[in-house]
Structure 1
Amino acid sequence: MPNSSDCEQHPENTEQTETIPIADLEPSLALPPPPPEDEWRPIPEHTNVDASRFPFSLYGIIPVILGIFSLLLLMLCGFFGYQYFQSVQESQSKMKSFNQWNESFQNKDENFLQVQKALDQNKEILEWILNQNEYLTEALRELNAKQGDRCGPPLSHWVKYRNHCYHQTLKMVSWSECSDLCVALNATFLNMERHRLMNIMRHLAVNHTWLGLSYHEEDNQWKWKDGSLPSLGLSLPEPSTDFQGKCVYANMHSVGTDNCTTSFSCMCEKPVY
Structure 2
Amino acid sequence: KTTNYVFSMLKEITEQTETIVDLNLPLPPPPPAPEDEWGPNPEPTHMSASSIPFFLYGIIPVVLGIFSLLLLALCGFFGYQYFHTVEASATKMKSLNALIESFQSKADKFLHVQNVLDQNKETDHWVLLLKSRLLFRCGHPLKHWVQSNDHCYHQTMEMVSWLNCSDLCVSLNATFLKTEGSRLKKVMELIAVGPTWLGLSYKKEDNEWKWEDGSSPSPGLGLPEPSLDFQGKCVYVNAHTLGTDNCTIPSSCLCEKAVH
Which TM-score band applies after superposition, normalised by the shorter structure?
0.3 to 0.5
Point out the structure with max Rg over C-alpha. 2
TM-score by length of 2: 0.47
Greater helix proportion: 2
